[in-house]
């Protein structure tokens, strides 16, 4: 573990280019923008399904992000994972607002109503961090707590390392802290396993076949992932399930349930289906297609610790926990202000949806302790 204070030169070296320097610069002026579309749209709006939530388009880091916002008070940014959108934090928005916080859940670049750059190289983790840095500034805040689930957790951890002056604490769901984002000393994809029968899920997500398969029947994709990776899904097995992140090449690793678990409704699924039917999966998969590039850009952070207070929450039936067990066991060495982990018995990958009340309560307790 080494000191996490970096010079601006070091930080821009990590970015690899001035175009993504927003991740490291002091907050800059940004503004609300109209969502893209065929004609003018309001800069903010309310959906009748959740009238307490305000939606806005925000210019940041050269793109526009759609955000859902509720509450007043200290700012907390909620970063979703794959394949999700702001809506995965629907339960926490209200709970955090009621507890006296300003909760803002963006669609990350490539997702939902946010911009989807054409160039695949514009989906590195440094671009994502730059987007969130600019978002904090656009919201008129001097600091924020950053929370993330899945890929959003990876973004949150590295944002806290890069900008402890801006992100005063971090909450990570599912994915633990891993040095340089991916926890490897060589290009991450070179260590991802594959054989004639199965391939590691992140390698699969980099292929054109993955994009085509996910988009073939969007409703089945969403229902199957929500069920199979949840605590209610079938246990993974080496014989064909999603064991340790390995996907059988012959397919059939996801189960489309007859009925959904109690924690998610068909109306919830409708939200995700509408978004991914409109956008496709290309932008969402951009994060995985830049794993090695992101790791290279974070080279100056090798050995850097998380200096701010942190909370880790996960389900004990989350396959990502199994994949990252070695990092979970050792992460306190690199996160000296890590609070005791909150492990949810019987919960799978979608913790903030599967165990909404427990996750919200843990987050609020942590936030109030800062």
Supply the residues annotated as catalytic.
150, 349
| β 63-70/102-106 pair status | antiparallel
Computed from CA positions of residues 67, 68, 72, 76, in that sequence, does the dihedral angle turn out positive or negative?
negative
Q: Considering only CA atoms, give the Rg of the chain.
A: 19
d(CA 237, CA 184): 26
Nearest to 311 by CA among 172, 177, 152, 163: 172
Does residue 318 contact residue 348 with C-beta atoms inside 8 Å? Answer: yes
Distances (CA, A) of 36 to 31, 284, 306: 15, 18, 37
Largest Cα span, the chain: 55
**Best CA proximity match to 298, nearest among 184, 206, 189:** 184
**Contact partners, residue 74, CB within 8 Å, separation at least 6:** 100, 101, 102, 144, 145, 367
Here the tokens at position 281 are 């999966």
Tokens 């907050």 belong to 27
Dist. CA 128–CA 369, nearest whole Å:
28
The answer for 62, left when phi > 0, alpha when psi is -120 to 50, beta otherwise, is left
- As to burial, measured by CB atoms within 10 angstroms (0-12 exposed, 13-18 middle, 19+ buried), residue 140 is exposed
Burial class (CB in 10 A: 0-12, 13-18, 19+), 242: buried
* The two structure tokens encoding residue 329: 């066991």
- State the Cα–Cα distance between residues 212 and 46, nearest whole angstrom: 33
């Amino acid at each position: 573990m080494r000191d996490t204070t970096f010079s601006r030169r070091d930080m821009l070296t990590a970015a690899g280019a001035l175009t993504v320097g927003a991740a490291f610069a002091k907050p800059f002026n940004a503004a609300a923008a109209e969502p893209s579309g065929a004609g003018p749209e309001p800069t903010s709006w309310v959906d009748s399904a959740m009238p307490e939530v305000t939606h806005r388009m925000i210019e940041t880091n050269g793109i526009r992000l759609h955000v859902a916002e509720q509450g007043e008070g200290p700012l907390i940014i909620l970063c979703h994972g794959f394949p999700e959108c702001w809506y995965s934090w629907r339960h926490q928005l209200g709970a955090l607002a009621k507890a006296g916080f300003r909760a803002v859940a963006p669609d990350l670049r490539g997702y939902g109503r946010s911009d989807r750059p054409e160039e695949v190289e514009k989906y590195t983790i440094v671009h994502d961090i730059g987007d969130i840095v600019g978002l904090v500034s656009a919201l008129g805040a001097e600091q924020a707590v950053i929370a993330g689930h899945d890929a959003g957790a990876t973004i949150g951890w590295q944002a806290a390392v890069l900008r402890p002056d801006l992100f005063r604490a971090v909450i990570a769901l599912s994915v633990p802290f891993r040095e340089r984002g991916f926890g490897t000393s060589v290009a991450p994809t070179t260590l991802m396993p594959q054989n004639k029968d199965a391939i590691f899920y992140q390698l699969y997500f980099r292929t054109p076949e993955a994009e085509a398969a996910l988009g073939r029947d969007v409703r089945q994709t969403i229902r199957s992932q929500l069920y199979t990776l949840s605590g209610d899904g079938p246990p993974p097995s080496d014989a064909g399930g999603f064991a340790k992140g390995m996907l059988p090449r012959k397919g059939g690793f996801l189960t489309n349930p007859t009925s959904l678990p109690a924690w998610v409704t068909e109306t919830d699924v409708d939200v995700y289906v509408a978004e991914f039917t409109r956008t496709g999966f290309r932008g969402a998969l951009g994060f995985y297609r830049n794993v090695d590039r992101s790791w290279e850009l974070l080279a100056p952070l090798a050995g850097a610790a998380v200096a701010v207070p942190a909370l880790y929450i996960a389900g004990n039936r989350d396959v990502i926990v199994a994949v990252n067990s070695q990092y979970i066991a050792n992460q306190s060495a690199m996160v000296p202000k890590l609070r005791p982990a909150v492990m949810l018995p019987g919960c799978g990958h979608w913790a903030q949806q599967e165990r909404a009340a427990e996750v919200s309560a843990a987050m609020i307790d942590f936030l109030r302790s800062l």
